[in-house]
Amino acid sequence: MRYLYNTEVYRNLEKGLLYRPIEEKDIISPQEGRDIAAEIGVAYYEVSILTEFGIEDVFLNTVRAALTDRRKMKFWDSQLRKLKPPMIQPPMELPQPTYPKVTLPSIAIYNDLCYLLRDEIEGDVVFVAKRQCIYAHKICLMVTSSVFKALFLTDLKSPTLEQPTQEVVSEDKVSDDSDKDRLIDSDGVLPESPLSDHLNVVANEQKEFETKTFVPSHPAFHSVEIKPPKHPFQSNQCTVQLNPDITPQAFHYILEYLYTGVAKEQFDIFDQVIVAAELLQLPDLVLSIRNFLSQEAYLNLELRRRFHIAQCSNLRELALRREIATDVTFEVDDGMVRAHKPLLMAHCEMMYAMFSDNFRESSAKVISFPGICKDTFKALQEYLYTGESPCMAGVDCMSLIEVANRLCLPRLVAFTEGHVVQELGIQEEANVNIMEDVLSILETAQLHNAVQLAKWCLHYLCVHFLDIFPQYVKLYKTLSLENQLFIDKHRWPPEWYVKEMELFQSLLNSPSKKQQHQKQQQFSRWERCTSSCLCFSRRHSHSSMADPLELPNS
């Protein structure tokens, strides 16, 4: 109980209503027990009912003590002549504490995308179904539908439409620094130069870039119209006229399916949805609806799983690698990274507030993001886009934890913690000394709320407490006093156990005078025996005689 009461496994056990929590003051040390035994004149042995340690030792040594006392009266009994005295009990072998595991909090990333669709925030495409306008996001549709992917890629690759857009973006980049400085003061009035000149340039380009219309070669769409932006910081507005057979209710249902991958039970519009889904070439949605109609909705779980796998794969390819349909650029320490506002806002509350409220970033094309490199920001992007663990190759994990904590992303913190713990475990299995890394990581993890990683580092330092000295004593002294006290208190093996082992080894290697006297009393007579001695037995019979209480080999 000295080591068990403070472990996570014991604390989580169901102990009943009458259980009283064990505190450190309730624990009796072996030395205290040995002192009490010396006062009453008895031998000291420890027994554990929970682990069954010492039970056999107590009974065996009790019998030995009784037979040793009987030998004083029956000294001629040959069975008692080689009887061993009561043995010294070795300390119980303490099991090494298990390392804490890193757990992940729950996530609802696809529901967040649904909220983004419902609120119609940062929509860059408008669908017109029977004179009803429905706002959506190109990137969300391109990664889930091959039809929308072909439609919007054709739009982006159009030579007549692409060139003016590039000129506006390049002009924004030239004057971005001056614009950002002037947007800080929201109460003041911006001077006419150079921003007014920039607006005049944009206005002239808008006159040159008039509304463009083209007819796609797909039956689901009648026409696509590209309009110039109403605001100099906005992108071009794309309007898609849908086939009259697609109703607004059915298209709302399809959009929600494309955003979340979940087909809902709305039997009253299933006929309309099937017609629209067939026009938009969505066979999985048609199959999901037919599963509802045939009372086999459980088959949709596999369809949903395949949908999310394909969605994440397309997000990594189109949004992250090819950077298609981006609408914002982040300036990090070692370069520029393009991103998508809708995906960032849907999965991060800090980004949502930054882009939707009255912050200067809501209208800026380039946003400064200091203290992070491109690889780390791309890992952040991958998590926000897919909700899965990002690729950690070349990523500074502690920097990623810092950014994730700054943006209030506990799940990304947990993903990074798990990766760091896994890498440290692999190095430890390869006999690589990780003590210096653990000592340097500990307080950084505590600073950025990486609680599970900090707990793992503390556990490692407690288990390898004896390895800290003397090589890493300087690093150890740089830790906070609270951490040093915790490590010293929870060190393994405990200090009392180390003292018990030292006492046991000293008793084995340096027997007391009484034990030497007992040994001489027991065996000196047999050493003086000769072949002509009329003793109770001969030396050869004595040497082959086994201890009557010797345990058989298991």
Are 272 and 412 in a shared domain? no
Within a domain: 115? no
Average pLDDT (251-264) is 94
Q: Which of 290, 320, 350 is where one domain is finished?
A: 320
Average pLDDT (256-277) is 94
Within a domain: 553? no
Distance set, CA 330 to CA 232, 473, 551 (Å): 19, 42, 75
Distance from C-alpha of 486 to C-alpha of 459, rounded to nearest angstrom: 10
Distance from C-alpha of 373 to C-alpha of 386, rounded to nearest angstrom: 20
pLDDT at 250: 96
pLDDT at 47: 85
Within a domain: 305? yes
Pairing of strands 328-332, 366-368: parallel
Are 280 and 176 in a shared domain? yes
pLDDT digits (tens, 9 = 90+) for 198-247: 444 444 444 445 678 888 889 999 999 988 766 655 667 789 999 999 99
Burial string for 522-534 (b: 16+ CB within 10 Å, else e) reads beeebeeeeeeee
pLDDT at 500: 86
pLDDT at 468: 92
Number of domains in the chain: 3
Number of other residues whose CB lies within 10 A of the CB of residue 144: 22
Are 145 and 289 in a shared domain? yes
Closest CA to 331 of 288, 289, 364, 304: 364
Average pLDDT (274-282) is 96
According to DSSP, the residues that pair with 126 across neighbouring strands are 135, 239
The chain-wide mean pLDDT, for the chain, equals: 80
User: Is the CA virtual torsion 499, 504, 510, 515 positive or negative?
Assistant: positive
CB 195 within 8 A of CB 182: yes
pLDDT at 492: 86
Q: Residue 106: is its pLDDT beyond 60?
A: yes
According to DSSP, the residues that pair with 239 across neighbouring strands are 126, 225
Amino acid at 332: V
Are 478 and 383 in a shared domain? yes
Number of residues that make up the chain: 554
Distance set, CA 149 to CA 140, 155, 242, 314, 341 (Å): 10, 10, 16, 10, 19
* Residues 6+ away with beta carbon under 8 Å from 285: 254, 257, 263, 273, 277
Q: Residue 122: is its pLDDT beyond 90?
A: no
Are 220 and 174 in a shared domain? yes
Distance from C-alpha of 390 to C-alpha of 419, rounded to nearest angstrom: 10
pLDDT greater at residue 504 or residue 413: 413
Distance from C-alpha of 552 to C-alpha of 554, rounded to nearest angstrom: 6
pLDDT digits (tens, 9 = 90+) for 445-502: 999 999 999 999 999 999 999 899 888 999 999 999 999 999 998 888 888 888 888 8
Share of the chain above pLDDT 70, in %: 77
Q: Which of 451, 470, 492 is where one domain is finished?
A: 492
Number of other residues whose CB lies within 10 A of the CB of residue 222: 14
HEC assignment per residue over 442-494: HHHHHHCCCHHHHHHHHHHHHHCHHHHCCCCHHHHHCCCHHHHHHHHHCCCCC
Distance set, CA 258 to CA 117, 146, 203, 348, 545 (Å): 10, 11, 36, 20, 86
pLDDT digits (tens, 9 = 90+) for 423-435: 999 999 999 999 9
Phi, psi for residue 339 in degrees, rounded to 5: -145, 180
Is pTM beyond 0.95? Reply is no
Most confident of 41-55, 182-196, 458-472, 509-523: 458-472
User: Is residue 19 very low, low, confident or very high in pLDDT (cuts 50, 70, 90)?
Assistant: confident
Q: Residue 504: is its pLDDT beyond 80?
A: yes
pLDDT at 436: 94
Within a domain: 367? yes
pLDDT greater at residue 413 or residue 528: 413
pLDDT at 199: 41
Full residue range of the structural domain in which residue 19 is found: 8-94+502-543
* Residues 6+ away with beta carbon under 8 Å from 174: none
Within a domain: 373? yes
Average pLDDT (393-410) is 94
Are 154 and 278 in a shared domain? yes
Are 172 and 314 in a shared domain? yes
Are 310 and 235 in a shared domain? yes
First to last CA, the chain: 28
263-272: Cβ within 8 A, 24+ apart: 263/288, 263/289, 263/292, 263/300, 263/303, 265/292, 265/297, 267/292, 267/293, 272/247
Are 331 and 316 in a shared domain? no
Average pLDDT (503-509) is 82
Within a domain: 236? yes
Within a domain: 114? no
Average pLDDT (141-149) is 94
Average pLDDT (164-193) is 40
Distance from C-alpha of 467 to C-alpha of 197, rounded to nearest angstrom: 68
Q: Residue 75: is its pLDDT beyond 90?
A: no
What is the residue whose two structure tokens read 């006929």?
271
Q: Which of 320, 352, 373 is where one domain is finished?
A: 320
Closest CA to 455 of 433, 438, 470: 438
Average pLDDT (160-183) is 40
Are 293 and 360 in a shared domain? no
Indicate left, alpha or beta for 131 from its phi (over 0: left) and psi (-120 to 50: alpha). left
Query: What is the DSSP track for 81-111?
Result: TTPPPPPPPPPP-PPPPPPPPP------HHH
User: Is residue 339 very low, low, confident or very high in pLDDT (cuts 50, 70, 90)?
Assistant: very high
Average pLDDT (36-44) is 86
The lowest-confidence range among 309-313, 389-393, 478-482, 508-512 is: 508-512
Q: Residue 284: is its pLDDT beyond 60?
A: yes
Most confident of 112-116, 171-175, 271-275, 530-534: 271-275
Distance from C-alpha of 519 to C-alpha of 523, rounded to nearest angstrom: 6
Query: What is the DSSP track for 14-62?
Result: ---TT-----GGGPPPHHHHHHHHHHHT-------TTT-TTHHHHHHHH
User: Is residue 516 very low, low, confident or very high in pLDDT (cuts 50, 70, 90)?
Assistant: low
pLDDT greater at residue 420 or residue 163: 420
- Residue 10's H or E segment, with its range, is helix 8-11
Average pLDDT (383-396) is 91
Number of other residues whose CB lies within 10 A of the CB of residue 483: 19
Q: Residue 170: is its pLDDT beyond 70?
A: no
pLDDT at 31: 85
pLDDT greater at residue 378 or residue 554: 378
User: Is residue 347 very low, low, confident or very high in pLDDT (cuts 50, 70, 90)?
Assistant: confident
Residue 349's domain is classified under what CATH number?
Answer: 3.30.710.10
pLDDT at 554: 38
Are 350 and 429 in a shared domain? yes
User: Is residue 3 very low, low, confident or very high in pLDDT (cuts 50, 70, 90)?
Assistant: low
Within a domain: 550? no
pLDDT at 254: 96
Are 155 and 71 in a shared domain? no
pLDDT at 191: 43
Q: Residue 37: is its pLDDT beyond 50?
A: yes
Q: Residue 532: is its pLDDT beyond 70?
A: no
